[in-house]
Amino acid sequence: RLCPNSGSASFEGLVYVGRVLRRVNLKIPILVRFFCDEDTKPDFRLSRESLARLLHLLNQDRRHGWGATIETLVFLFWLASGTSYRVVSRVFGMPRSTVHSIVHRVTEEVVDIRHQVIHLPKTEEDLNSVSRGFAGLAHHRAFVKAVGAIDGCHIRIKCPSGPDGQCYRNRKLFPSIILQAVSDHQGRFIDTYVGWPGSVHDSRVLRHSPLYRQSVYPPPGHFILADGGYPCLQQPLPLITPYKRPLQGVGAQRFNNHHSKARSIIERAFGMMKTRFRSIFLQALEVHHTFVITACAILHNICLGAGDVIAPENEAEVAEEDEGEAGLEAVSGALWRDQLSAEVSALEEILPDHDYLQVSKYNYF
């Protein structure tokens, strides 16, 4: 790699971008910082290790245009800063129309690798690692059959025009679409489903999702943890929710406490993703709604796999209450929850043996 001397005002040179030797304009400060091995997080919100993993997964040995590395940097800067194409074009010294094309193309390329990055546990060992992880998060062995935590997250958007626009206004009265996600014990997303209008209840989004309709996960005898916005189910998708208030007895209170410790990992995952790309999530998205959100979820997983963990800043959303699901719950998952609650009262608590957010128990890529 080439780097200007500290006293040089500008510099141009040849650098290897992938396996291709390219002439890079190092008069551009953001490229000077990148090619001189400076910290990439301030500009791109990803560590160098995370960037390397992303480029490896994209596997784009592009011998035309600006090259895969430069184009990926343009996309990440746009995503990290949440700024306009015009500003990005000035930062990188390229035409605005080129920035527009690069952002759209690289977004699609990132989304194309989603099944390599966002996927269910592949082996029995992976599944056991997740279940042990949730028992550790809950601090109780009764939760050793938990293999995921599910929740919905509202993503702010520009309100669509026309009569259907009001459907996108959620209970907090701002327009949004919903990201439904399942995370493992380390906060990695193992399933995502995005696109429903913000006014739709979490339980309805669930019933229309492939996770619910295809019933391929979790395996028999295992369950996913959910908050009070979902029904407590055994079939077709095993979901265990907390007891509703007012709580009846100390047993229900203890169960809810351990349940919350394990389930809150999905809220932490949303928080980490929103904090990393806060410029995108704090403003109303106008383009690529579902693609941008999916791309952020993919990058979140890549970062965790590289040990690039960021502390969440935003507060967890308040859980919704069920709407008309009580009858379904009474004949489905409530008995299973009662059995788990009895185990919580009968068995001793366990202490986690390590920090599940810091130590990877199985390989995602």
What pLDDT score was predicted for residue 148?
A: 98
* pLDDT over 80 (residue 320): no
Residue 135 is assigned to a structural domain of this protein: yes
Residue 22 is assigned to a structural domain of this protein: no
Residue 15 is assigned to a structural domain of this protein: no
pLDDT > 70 in the chain, percent:
80
What pLDDT score was predicted for residue 357?
A: 53
Higher pLDDT, 273 or 27: 273
Q: Which amino acid is at 326?
A: A
What is the arithmetic mean of pLDDT over 245-273? 93
* pLDDT over 60 (residue 168): yes
Residue 38 is assigned to a structural domain of this protein: yes
Total domain count for the chain?
2
Pick the closest to residue 308 from 187, 140, 211 (CA basis): 187
Residue 13 is assigned to a structural domain of this protein: no
Residues 55 and 166 in one domain: no
pLDDT tens per residue, range 185-207: 999 999 999 999 999 999 999 99
Rounded CA-CA distance 78/72 in Å is 10
Residue 178 is assigned to a structural domain of this protein: yes
Contact 300, 276 (CB under 8 A): yes
Of 116, 141, 156, the last residue of a domain is 116
Q: In which element (H, E) is residue 183 found?
A: strand 176-183
Residues 155 and 303 in one domain: yes
- The angle subtended at Cα 362 by Cα 355 and Cα 336, nearest 5°, is 75
Higher pLDDT, 114 or 22: 114
Residue 199 is assigned to a structural domain of this protein: yes
Backbone angles phi, psi at 352, to 5 degrees: -65, 140
Q: Which two tokens stand for residue 327?
A: 């009858």
- The angle subtended at Cα 230 by Cα 225 and Cα 235, nearest 5°, is 75
Least confidently predicted of 31-40, 114-123, 125-134: 31-40
Rounded CA-CA distance 246/253 in Å is 10
Residues 176 and 246 in one domain: yes
What pLDDT score was predicted for residue 3?
A: 54
* pLDDT over 50 (residue 361): no
**Domain around 223:** 124-314+328-347
Contact 270, 258 (CB under 8 A): no
Question: What is the sign of the dihedral through the CA atoms of 11, 14, 17 and 22?
Answer: positive
Q: How high does pLDDT run on average in the chain?
A: 85
* pLDDT over 90 (residue 290): no
pLDDT tens per residue, range 19-51: 444 556 668 899 989 988 899 999 999 999 999
Residues 67 and 214 in one domain: no
Residues 289 and 255 in one domain: yes
What pLDDT score was predicted for residue 60?
A: 66
Higher pLDDT, 354 or 344: 344
What is the arithmetic mean of pLDDT over 161-187? 91
Kindly give, in sequence order, each residue whose CB lies less than 8 Å from that of residue 334, ignoring residues fewer than 6 positions away: 232
Residues 57 and 189 in one domain: no
Of 116, 133, 163, the last residue of a domain is 116
Residues 94 and 243 in one domain: no
Confidence of residue 330 (pLDDT cuts 50, 70, 90): very low
* pLDDT over 70 (residue 363): no
